Amino acid sequence: MEGNIAIGLDIGTTKIVAMIGRKNEYGKVEILGIGRSKSLGVHRGVVNNITQTIQSIQLAVQEAEAAADVKIENVTVGIAGQHIRSLQHSDYITRPNPDLVIDDEDIDRLINQVHKLVMLPGEEIIHVLPQEYKVDGQAEIKEPVGMYGGRLEANFHVVVGQVSSIRNVGRCVKSAGLNLDNITLEPLASANAVLSQEEKEAGVALLDIGGGTTDLAIFRDGIIRHTAVIPFGGNVITEDIKEGCSIIEKQAELLKIKFGSAWPGENKENEIVSIPGLRGRDPKEITLKNLSKIIHARVVEIVEQVYVEIKNYGHEEQKKKLIAGIVLTGGGAQLKHLKQLVEYITGMDTRIGFPNEHLAGNSDDEITSPLYATAVGLVMDGLKRQERKKLEIAYEESLMEPETETETETEEETEIIEPPKPPKRSFLDKFTERIKDFLDNAE
């Protein structure tokens, strides 16, 4: 069974989730087991305590293994964190022989040229995503392979991150006794889990509100156009409640989940909640109106920062308009009246994204919560990679098979059957291999 299952490991600021899944006969993802533990040692998506992170990973993995009765070895890990940024870049190559058609090698050469961009110290290019191509000045070409041309140029969306932070995540995974199968950008994993292809075509902004960071991914014409990580999330709201109401963090978190609302007008002045005092002290009384005012102020700040990023992408231009609006996911998306507030601030259609579109019909309600969108996306990513590996193996085997030809066949009857081409490897595959090599050599 090991061959047909995939494991997603979501290393978040508040929780670490290990999720085991496989594809059922209808092509949907069936979740076999899930384990979660409190994330100790991660701050705003970045590991700041290796030992505690390793322990948290092991706890989550053990719980998932017990639930699914499967031994976990290879995992697909999500990376996010405040160190990730993105930029737009244009580049071109001149082809030595314009009389030959453009092939995958030309595109690889162009992409490899982008990888040579000089970054800030400690930063490395994680992802190079082609937007659209130009061949000999002819613009807006989606797929240049098979065309004639001397000059091939493209616009790229380049995702950059602190390589030391990513290596630390890899180190934690390895030290927890697991193999790093692949690394995926968390906003991309969440997008795969909650967005439909129609939304990606029409133009949509996915907002994944986590504990430590808020991840943004913008799609248009089925291509990812913009990514950003905003270093605020649900934890900052909890911190504000703690400070504003002079209570401990545990109580602040419970208050936010049970009574929190992003819209102060909802609560009446006389709605009060009583919180037990510490060690014999008098209980504290907090009005729900004050609570929602504290939450509202911080959520407005987060949403406004997101809206600045959406405008930076160019949403206000007619050609770049995001017709499908905004999709909210992540643990923070469960905050009451958040959808209405986002619509009010941005003027864009908004919905809450549940990762149930790709899940089997009998999935647990808990798994289809926005809280697990990233983990579901990572499992889907792992399964997709397994399928690609199978195709690659089949392709290699087809090349090695000796050609057999019967004597009775005439030349006219002989048909040349070309083996199918292997699927293209993504740039993240190559990046993962570099991280793996580094970790192996560092031991």
**pLDDT of 424 higher than 70:** no
What is the model's pLDDT at position 419?
54
| 60 within some domain | no
**pLDDT of 403 higher than 60:** no
What is the model's pLDDT at position 414?
46
Name the pTM for this structure: 0.87
| 143 within some domain | no
Mean residue pLDDT of the chain comes to: 87
What is the model's pLDDT at position 26?
84
For residue 369, give the 3-state DSSP assignment. Answer: coil
**pLDDT of 82 higher than 60:** yes
Give the whole-angstrom CA distance, residue 111 versus residue 152. Answer: 11
- In this structure, of 161-165, 204-208, 323-327, 430-434, the range with the lowest mean pLDDT score is 430-434
- Over residues 125-152, mean pLDDT: 90
Give residue-wise pLDDT tens across range 337-350: 999 999 999 999 99
What is the model's pLDDT at position 409?
46
- In this structure, of 28-37, 60-69, 91-100, 397-406, the range with the lowest mean pLDDT score is 397-406
Which string of DSSP letters, residue by residue, matches 88-123? EEEEEEE-S-TTSBP-HHHHHHHHHHHTT----TTE
**Cβ(324)–Cβ(203) below 8 Å:** yes
| 270 within some domain | yes
Which string of DSSP letters, residue by residue, matches 249-264? HHHHHHHHHHH-BS-G
**pLDDT of 405 higher than 70:** no
| 194 within some domain | no
> What is the domain count for the chain?
1
What is the model's pLDDT at position 411?
47
Give residue-wise pLDDT tens across range 352-368: 999 988 888 777 778 88
Q: Which residues pair with 101 in a beta bridge?
A: 148
Q: Which residues of 336-362 are buried (b: 16+ CB within 10 A; e: fewer)?
A: bbbbebbeeebebebbebbbbebbbee
| 316 within some domain | no
What is the model's pLDDT at position 16?
93
**pLDDT of 265 higher than 90:** no
What is the model's pLDDT at position 410?
46
- In this structure, of 6-10, 52-56, 432-436, the range with the lowest mean pLDDT score is 432-436
What is the model's pLDDT at position 239?
94
Provide the residue range defining the domain that includes 261: 234-298
315 — pLDDT class (breaks 50, 70, 90): confident
Of 424, 73, 384, 181, the closest CA to residue 376 belongs to: 384
Give the whole-angstrom CA distance, residue 359 versus residue 24. Answer: 10
| 246 within some domain | yes
217 — pLDDT class (breaks 50, 70, 90): very high
What is the model's pLDDT at position 422?
62
**pLDDT of 92 higher than 90:** yes
Number of C-beta neighbours around residue 12 at 10 A: 25
**pLDDT of 224 higher than 80:** yes
**Cβ(2)–Cβ(73) below 8 Å:** yes
- Over residues 66-81, mean pLDDT: 89
- Over residues 287-301, mean pLDDT: 92
**pLDDT of 412 higher than 60:** no
Give residue-wise pLDDT tens across range 51-61: 999 999 999 99
What is the model's pLDDT at position 439?
78
Q: What is the CATH number of the domain that holds 286?
A: 3.30.420.40
**pLDDT of 270 higher than 50:** yes
What is the model's pLDDT at position 296?
94
Give the whole-angstrom CA distance, residue 295 versus residue 264. Answer: 9
| 322 within some domain | no
What is the model's pLDDT at position 314?
83
What is the model's pLDDT at position 427?
63
| 264 within some domain | yes
**pLDDT of 407 higher than 60:** no
- Over residues 272-290, mean pLDDT: 85
